[in-house]
């Protein structure tokens, strides 16, 4: 029962924190500088999540050609820049990642 109360309290806290901003921005005139600054929050948060996952291999920082995730991310970044398509970015990035992982698996057997 305690765990369900904890889940409920966390859900209400999360909802309240998010809804407060919706309510606030709906009733208060937000300065233009703040609006323009808030545009950068999602990319900053996404970068903070993705970059450590890409740059680390087996818990250690590995920035080299031996890190298939880093190489696939670099290819995906180029695809994203050239095509501006999320679908193509994900598809090409995953194909490159799987290909590099397969190649490294084959090469490590020799």
Taking the C-alpha atoms of residue 95 and residue 93, their distance in angstroms, rounded to an integer, is 6
- Counting every residue written for the chain, the total comes to 110
Q: Is 88 exposed, middle or buried (0-12, 13-18, 19+ CB in 10 A)?
A: middle
Q: How does pLDDT run along the chain (110 residues), one tens digit per residue?
A: 789 999 999 999 999 988 887 887 778 787 889 889 989 999 999 999 988 888 887 777 777 778 899 999 999 999 999 999 999 999 999 999 999 999 988 887 76
Taking the C-alpha atoms of residue 72 and residue 79, their distance in angstroms, rounded to an integer, is 10
Answer whether 0.85 is exceeded by the pTM.
no
């Amino acid at each position: 029962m305690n765990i369900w109360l904890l889940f409920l309290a966390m859900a209400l806290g999360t909802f309240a924190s998010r809804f407060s901003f919706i309510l606030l921005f709906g009733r208060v005139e937000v300065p233009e500088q703040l609006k323009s600054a808030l545009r950068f929050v999602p990319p900053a948060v996404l970068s903070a999540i993705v970059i450590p996952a890409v740059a680390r291999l087996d818990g250690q920082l590995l920035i080299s050609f031996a890190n298939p995730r880093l190489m696939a991310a670099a290819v995906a970044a180029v695809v994203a820049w050239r095509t501006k398509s999320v679908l193509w970015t994900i598809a090409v990035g995953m194909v490159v990642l799987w290909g590099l992982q397969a190649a490294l698996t084959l090469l490590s057997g020799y």
